Amino acid sequence: MKDQRWWLIGASEGLGRALATAMAAEGARLILSARGEERLRALAGDLDARALPLDVSDPAAVATAAEAAGPVDGLIYLAGAYWPMKAKEWDSARIETMLDVNLNGAVRVLGHVLPGMITRNQGRVVLTGSLAGFRGLPGSLGYGQSKAALMNLGQSLQADLRGTGVRVQLVNPGFIRTRLTDRNDFSMPFLMDPDEAAAHMLRAIRSGRPATSFPTVFSWLFRAGRLLPTPLWNRLFARS
């Protein structure tokens, strides 16, 4: 990554912040975006990176930021919104926010960045999914669906761009200790600190694999779970 230009969106907190720190140590030239301008600028100053404040839910702001960023070697989409929510607690505004930030925000950014990569026949796109995207889970309204759609988007891009110089990767983490997961009131198996998760993510990016899910053992449950009959899956997770 040395001297490569990478644009990280969702870089001011949690996994994004830890990943930016790790990539700066590798010598990457970083453009960092997030809504939290104060913390973003402080981080950019610490890492000798460029701060580009951005609200991905604002199409005009995305267009302006993409023009300001210019051509990049790589894009990592980490922006995320999350509230734990069950059907009996339905909140349309929050569900729409999760879908807009987690999925539509990525679509808006890709609409400005991907065409240039295709024209240059060169570039890397990394989309941050989630183990919660593999199959419907209790209490994951809005979030699980946004991540499932984002993962499907990445898979479609991989198929369409096969044989080109543009590589698309999916990285699907499990539970990471952040201000968002602090909202959970349930046990989170294999809970990782952001630095540990960033190390996993950096290895995944370096590997070039189309998709990486971690922690490995925990991810087996979700990947295998797609084969379970729906009543059994629901009984297991409703109980847990």
Q: What is the pLDDT of residues 106-151, one digit of tens each?
A: 999 999 999 999 999 999 999 999 998 998 888 889 999 999 999 9
* Over residues 143-161, mean pLDDT: 97
For residues 28 and 74, give the distance between their C-alpha atoms in angstroms, rounded to a whole number.
Answer: 10
| Sign of the CA dihedral with 223 first, then 188, 36, and 12 last | negative
Through-space distance between the first and last CA atoms of the chain, rounded to whole angstroms: 41
Taking a C-beta distance cutoff of 8 angstroms, is the pair 237, 189 a contact? no
Given this model, what pLDDT does residue 223 score? Answer: 81
User: What is the rounded distance in angstroms from the CA atom of residue 129 to the CA atom of residue 2?
Assistant: 25
> Among the options 7, 77, 82, 143, which is catalytic?
143
- Mean pLDDT across the stretch 185-203? 87
> Is residue 143 among the annotated active site residues?
yes
**Which pair of structure tokens corresponds to residue 156?**
């479609």
Does pLDDT of 219 surpass 90?
no
Helix (H) or strand (E) holding 6: strand 5-9
CB atoms within 10 A of CB 138: 15
Question: Mean pLDDT across the chain, nearest whole number?
Answer: 92
Give the pLDDT confidence score for residue 218 in this predicted structure. 81
